[in-house]
Amino acid sequence: MSKPKILDKWVTSLVLVAVVGVAALGIYQFGIKPGLPEETYAPINGEEAGEDKPFAFDSIDSSSCVACHTNESVIAASTWGQDKPVAENTGG
């Protein structure tokens, strides 16, 4: 039985081995063991969700809030709060 011609060149052989290896690893990760490694967080008060766990909700677009509340000229022109009481001496 004669050797396939494609294996005559050693560079071609190396590429073939690499392709087969990557394919095998891919089948293992996505087929046999799907998913990423599970994240772990420091437990606090017995809860699994520690302080470093990302918050559970997505941020909500607040572009309209920022449009006014970062605009100093809008703030300056506002009459909001003028009818609110000023500071009290709390006596504390």
Partner 1 sequence: MFLVSEDFVASTHGGLGCITCHGGENAMDKAVAHNEMDPYPSRNFQDNCGTCHADVAGVYETSIHYNLHGMANGLLEFTDYTQLSDSPHHEEVFDNDCFKCHATCGDCHVSRPKNFSNGLVDQHTFLGTPSMEENCYACHNARNAGEYMGLVGFGGDVHYDMGMTCMDCHPTSNFHGTGEVGEDMWAEELPSCLDCHEDKDPAVATDVNHRVHGDSLSCQVCHAQANNNCFECHLDEKADGSGLASSSEMKIMFRVGYNPNPTEERPYKYVALRHVPGQESMLEVVGEDMMPNYDEKTNWKYSPTHNIQKSTFQNESCASCHENTRIWLKMDDLRETDSKANESLIPALPPSLDH
> Which spans of this chain sit near partner 1 (rule: CB under 8 A)?
44-45, 47, 49-51, 53, 55-57, 59-70, 72, 74-75, 78, 80-81, 84, 86-92
CB of 70 vs partner 1, minimal distance in Å: 6
Q: Is 16 left (phi over 0), alpha (psi -120 to 50) or beta?
A: alpha
8 or 61, CB closer to partner 1?
61
Nearest to 80, CA basis, from 90, 67, 64, 69: 69
CB of 13 vs partner 1, minimal distance in Å: 51
Distance (Å, rounded) from C-alpha 13 to C-alpha 8?
A: 8
